Amino acid sequence: MHPAPSVILFTVLSGAGFGYLAFLALGFPAVAGWAGFAAWGFGYAMAVSGLLASTFHLGNPQRALLAFSQWRSSWLSREAWTSVAALTALAPMALSDWLGLGLLRGFGLVGAAFCAATVISTAMIYAQMKTVPRWRDWSTPVMFAAFAVAGGGVLAAPPVWAAALALAPGAALILSFRRGDGAFAAAGHSLGSATGLDRLGQPSVFEQPHTGGNYLMREMIHVVGRRHAARLRPIALLLAAAVPALLLVILPVPLARPLAFAIHLAGALAARWLFFAEAEHVVGLYYGKRG
């Protein structure tokens, strides 16, 4: 799949944003006054800018409100609702923290649940795609959740926890690589089943239907060099998980948090790039390109 910057930014920022907001909502760390304003503001900024980034992916963003309409079947629609619900539900909590209104944490719990739902909905947009076997797996929501928890946790979890949570995406990535690498083959789709020509023998592409490019090739058929992926995977693991965790262990936590978060974010971007770039859509079969 085409690793579109807007979508990478969207999933990474909104994931980290909602993760962080959830921590705040649950009172980790407890913030108040202008520090509260800054913390909540940062969380909101990440979540909202992530959501905004997603609109850059749209052909007609001016109609984006319509995306709320199909919550009964569409994960994207559900994500729209949950994200708005989360942002709305958390507003009293945020105001309370800022202005010291003393709202019960229970309110935050509801918001945090919406944050979690948002992250899961986002993940489900991908995990529901039977057309992309690498994504269509329980490890996808696990990974999205792990990134959200880590993104939030690095910034907000209690010191001991932060380092541990920072490792979560590492585990999730390893899991998703392991489960994902064989997924396409395991799904059993082939040029033969895609065309039904396995009835006859062994089909392969003779000529492409068009020598010019098209949307499908740009959007679904992205061939990443194997070596490229092999190099990026450890980088993503290191940056998204190992280095932040290490920093949180070896440096004083308040100092480590921003540094670890920045590095984690870079790792998350790399991992998300791979998430798309390595994902093979079955339509590639028709073009003789698994990619």
Partner 1 sequence: MTCLPAKVDKTLGLVIDLDTCVGCQACVTACKGWNDQGYGVPLSDQDPYGADPSGTFLNRVHSYQVEVADAAPQIVNFPRSCLHCADAPCVTVCPTGASYKRAEDGIVLVNEDACIGCGLCAWACPYGAREMDAAAGVMKKCTLCVDRIYNDQLPEQDREPACVRTCPTGARHFGDLSNPQSAVSRLVEARGGYALMPEIGTGPVNRYLPPRKKGAGLSGPLTALVDLPATGLAGWLDRLLGKL
Partner 2 sequence: MTQPKLNLSPPVSDEVRQTTCYMCAGRCGINVHLKDGRVSYIEGNRDHPVNKGVLCAKGASGIMQVTAPSRLRAPLRRVGPRGSGAFEEISWDEALELAVSWMKPLRETAPEKLAFFTGRDQSQSLTGWWAQAFGTPNYAAHGGFCSVNMAAGGIYTIGGAFWEFGQPDWERTELFVMFGVAEDHDSNPLKIGIGKLKARGARVISVNPVRTGYSAVADDWYAITPGTDGLLILSLVHCLLEAGKIDLDYLAQWTNAPMLVNAAEGPEKGLFVRNAESQPFVIDRRTGQPAPWDGAGVEPDLGADWQGNRSVFRHLAETYLGPAYAPEAVADRCGIAAPRIRALAAELAEAAFDRAFAVPRPWTDFRGNRHETMQGRPVSFHAMRGISAHSNGFQTARALHLLQILLGSVEAPGGYRLKPPYPKPVEAHPTPHFVTVPGKPLSGPHLGYVRGPDDLALLPDGSPARIDKAFSWENPFSAHGLMHMVIPNAHAGDPYRIDTLFLYMANMAWNSSMNTAQVMEMLTAKEGDDYVIPRIIYSDAYASEMVAYADLILPDTTYLERHDCISMLDRPISEPDAAGDAIRWPVVAPDRPGSFGVRGFQSVLLDLGARLGLPGMVNEDGTPKYRDYADYMVTHQRRPGVGPLIGFRGDGTAEGRGAPNPDQLQRYIENGAFYQAHVPEEAAFFKPWNAAYQDWAVRLGIYETPQPYLFSLWSEPMRRFQLAAEGHGPRQPPDHLRARLKQAMHPLPIWYPPYGDADAAFGYKVHALTQRPMDMYHSWGSQNAWLRQIRGRNLLYLPTKIWLGQGFEAGDWARVSSRSGLITVPVAHMAALNENTVWTWNAIGKRKGAWALAPDAPEATVGFLLNHLISELLPRQEGGPRLSNSDPVTGQAAWFDQRVRLERVPAAERPAQSAPSFPELPDVPRAGGGRVQNFSKNLDRNFREFRGPRDPEGAP
CB of 67 to partner 1, least distance (A): 4
What is the C-alpha to C-alpha distance for residues 3 and 275, in angstroms, rounded to an integer? 8
Candidates 32, 48, 76, 164: give the one binding partner 1 (CB under 8 A). 76
Q: Which is nearer to partner 2, 106 or 211 (CB)?
A: 211
Cis-peptide, bond into residue 29, ω within 30° of zero: yes
CA end-to-end span of the chain: 7
Selection from partner 2, partner 1, none that 289 binds (CB < 5 to 8 A by kind) is partner 2
**Does residue 207 touch partner 2 according to CB under 8 A?**
yes
Q: Using CB under 8 A, which of the segments 52-60, 94-102, 144-152, 266-274 binds partner 1? A: 52-60
CA distances from 67 to 88, 128, 219 (A): 18, 17, 21
Contact criterion met (CB below 8 Å) for 36 and 69: no
Selection from partner 2, partner 1, none that 105 binds (CB < 5 to 8 A by kind) is none
For the segment 1-30, give every residue that binds partner 2 (CB under 8 A). 2, 4
What number of chain residues touch partner 1 (CB under 8 A)? 59
**Does residue 252 touch partner 1 according to CB under 8 A?**
no
Candidates 88, 193, 195, 208: give the one binding partner 2 (CB under 8 A). 208
Indicate left, alpha or beta for 100 from its phi (over 0: left) and psi (-120 to 50: alpha).
left
For the segment 119-148, give every residue that binds partner 1 (CB under 8 A). 125, 128-132
Q: Which is nearer to partner 2, 70 or 195 (CB)?
A: 70
Selection from partner 1, partner 2, none that 130 binds (CB < 5 to 8 A by kind) is partner 1
Dihedral angle over CA of 95, 53, 256, 154, nearest 10: 70
**Does residue 282 touch partner 1 according to CB under 8 A?**
yes
CB of 131 to partner 1, least distance (A): 5
- Those residues with Cβ within 8 angstroms of residue 284's Cβ, 6 or more apart along the chain or in another chain: 220, 221, 290, 291
Q: Which is nearer to partner 1, 59 or 106 (CB)?
A: 59
Contact criterion met (CB below 8 Å) for 145 and 110: no
For the segment 89-128, give every residue that binds partner 2 (CB under 8 A). none
CB of 123 to partner 2, least distance (A): 23
Q: Which is nearer to partner 2, 136 or 272 (CB)?
A: 272
What is the C-alpha to C-alpha distance for residues 143 and 146, in angstroms, rounded to an integer? 5
Angle at Cα 178 formed by Cα 122 and Cα 8, nearest 5°?
30
What is the C-alpha to C-alpha distance for residues 93 and 101, in angstroms, rounded to an integer? 9
Q: What's the one-letter identity of residue 76?
A: L
Q: Which residues of 140-178 are buried (b: 16+ CB within 10 A; e: fewer)?
A: bbbbbbbbbbbbbbbbbbeeebbbebbbbbbebbebbbe
CB of 92 to partner 1, least distance (A): 28
* Residue numbers at the binding site for partner 1 (CB under 8 A): 1, 57-61, 63-64, 66-70, 72-77, 80, 125, 128-132, 187-189, 191, 193-197, 199-210, 212-216, 219-220, 281-283, 286-287
* Residue numbers at the binding site for partner 2 (CB under 8 A): 2, 4, 56-61, 66, 69-70, 204-214, 217-218, 221-223, 288-289
